[in-house]
Structure 1
Amino acid sequence: MSPQQKAEALGITFTKQDQGYLAMVVRTGNLLITSGHVSDLKGKLGEGLTVDQGKAAARECAEKILNSVWNFRGTLDGLRVLKLLGCVSSSPDFTEQHLVVNGCSDLLHEIFGKDGDGYHARSALGFAQLPTGVAVEVEAIFEIKG
């Protein structure tokens, strides 16, 4: 199955987006660079939110990123995931940001292959606060192959 088919088989829906204040995806050369995509979940990891809730929020960010990429290109096919930046709103003593951002990486591995085009570099950082109080924000860089 192609990445687009895998995403659809996993139940990810692709819907048209209206142009907003900022571009959700920009292209430079053969790279697609996304804006940060935020979770609907609000709150802080380590202060009422569990790692599992954070992982689900990070997965939701990945789904939103994929929808924006689909809006920009019309398909997920022909892409390689290069880099993720995962931002986790967390308490000062919370140290499992990497486990939270795994929710995003795991989905991209499922769709693009863990040993292939989904194998990516990543940063997972803790923040005192994210915009509008969201729990997780993720941005991504993709390469257009060929």
Structure 2
Amino acid sequence: MTPEEKLTSLGLVLPEVPVPVANYVPYRWAGNLLYLSGQGPKRTDGTYRPGRLGRNATIEEAYEEARLTGLNLLAVAKSALGELSRIEAVIKLLGMVNAEPDFSDHPKVINGCSDLLVEVLGDAGRHARSAVGMGSLPNRMTVEIEAILLVRD
């Protein structure tokens, strides 16, 4: 089953690729590594649900936001690659969580993205990862995640 077929079987649709709002590109090639710029849980209407872990967002809500962020990352990857089956491996994720200083469950939040990548890509979706807290994120969103992918020719 291709990753696109897997998405369909899960009832998931890749969103439109977000257009950068500043001076950067959504992805950048370095040999057969594809670097994906940080994405957030942008909804189809272009909005984000503001939230801060430890204040007004739960781990469960932020897990779903990280899952949506994973869909946004896959949308960017598909725009760069044409088909997601060219992803040989997700090498690394950097997951940033908008959190209060005493919040300590950052990995539980970023699991939303990690779990999605493994569901859609199988073993190719397993990756190294960092999950860290931030004092703020753009649009007051709960998570932002960037990725490095190894791509087949």
Q: TM-score normalised to the size of structure 2?
A: 0.87
Residue 33 of structure 1 and its aligned partner are, at CA, apart by 0.5
What percent of counterpart residues are identical? Answer: 37
Name the count of aligned residue pairs: 144
| 1:136 matched residue in structure 2 | 143
Cα drift, residue 11 of structure 1: 2.7
CA deviation after TM superposition for structure 1 residue 18, in Å? 7.3
Q: Which residue of 2 is the match for residue 86 of structure 1?
A: 95
**3-state DSSP class of the match of 2:83?**
coil
1:42 to 50, 54, 72: 50
Structure 2 match to 1:145: 152
What is the CA deviation profile of residues 21-72 of structure 1, one whole-angstrom value per residue up to 9, with x for unaligned ones? Answer: 4211111100110000012221100101110001001001000011111111
Is 19-28 or 38-47 further displaced after alignment? 19-28
The equivalences for 1:1-146 within 5 A come to 1-14=1-14, 17=17, 20=20, 21=22, 22-39=24-41, 40-79=48-87, 80-113=89-122, 116-145=123-152
With over 3 angstroms needed to count, the CA separation of the structure-2 counterparts of 1:95 and 1:19, relative to structure 1, is closer
SS in 2 for 1:45: coil
Residue pair 2:17, 2:72 contacting (<8 A) in 1 also: no
1:2 Cα deviation from its structure 2 partner: 1.6
- Greater CA deviation, 6-15 or 82-91? 6-15
Shift of 1:12: 2.8
Segments of 5+ residues of structure 1 without an aligned counterpart are: none
Aligned CA RMSD, in angstroms, stands at: 1.6
Segments of structure 2 that go 5 or more residues without pairing to the other structure are 42-47
CA contact (8 A) 1:16 1:71 kept: no
Q: What is the CA distance between 1:145 and its match in structure 2?
A: 2.6
**Secondary structure of the corresponding residue to residue 23 of structure 1:** coil
Q: State how far apart, in whole Å, the 2-side matches of 1:103 and 1:38 are.
A: 12
Shift of 1:15: 5.2
CA distance in 2, matches of 1:117, 1:47: 35
Helix, strand or coil for the counterpart of 1:102? helix
Q: What amino acid sits opposite 1:57 in the alignment? A: E
